[in-house]
């Protein structure tokens, strides 16, 4: 029975917080590749992005955030406020992704007359 990817993603973030970068990356890589999830896969990718950001792997972190944004979790507010993603805030790719997501958010809000 394959490991459940959402749990692996969370475990990878916990390993990163505990300072075990090697274990964190192995778990995040496995979770990101998995097709078995009890939740929406974008939640797994968000956890993986957090783990990668915490262990100093910005390329992998941003890749997972882009997957999240493209596949059901395009939340610039979540990504900007996530403390585990703070190390990415000055990365031009992160800034570009947040700009795109904000633009899409504002467009939808304006199209439907939402004041939030």
- Please state the separation of Cα 5 from the chain's center in Å: 14
Mean pLDDT of 49-67: 97
Residue 110: predicted pLDDT: 74
More confident residue, 62 or 112: 62
Ramachandran sector of residue 72 (left: φ over 0; alpha: ψ -120 to 50; beta: rest): left
Task: Please tell me the pTM assigned to this model.
Answer: 0.87
Sign of CA dihedral 67, 77, 51, 55: positive
Mean pLDDT of 28-36: 89
The residue ranges of DSSP E strands in 33-104, in sequence order, are none
Gap between the Cα atoms of 47 and 4, Å rounded: 13
Residue 116: predicted pLDDT: 57
Does residue 2 surpass a pLDDT of 70?
no
More confident residue, 13 or 43: 13
Residue 1: predicted pLDDT: 43
Assess contact for 54 and 70: CB atoms under 8 A: no
Angle CA(49)–CA(54)–CA(8) in degrees, nearest 5?
50
Q: How confident is the model at residue 111 (pLDDT cuts 50, 70, 90)?
A: confident
More confident residue, 76 or 58: 58
Tokens of 42: 């974008």
Tokens of 10: 């969370």
């Amino acid at each position: 029975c394959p490991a459940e990817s959402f749990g692996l993603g969370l475990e990878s973030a916990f390993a990163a917080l505990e300072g075990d970068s090697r274990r964190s990356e192995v778990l995040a890589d496995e979770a990101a590749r998995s097709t078995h999830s009890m939740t929406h896969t974008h939640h797994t990718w968000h956890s993986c992005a957090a783990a990668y950001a915490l262990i100093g792997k910005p390329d992998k972190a941003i890749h997972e955030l882009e997957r999240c944004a493209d596949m059901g979790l395009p939340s610039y507010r979540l990504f900007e406020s996530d403390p585990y993603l703070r190390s990415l805030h000055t990365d031009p790719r992160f800034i570009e992704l947040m700009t795109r997501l904000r633009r899409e958010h504002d467009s939808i809000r304006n199209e439907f007359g939402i004041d939030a």
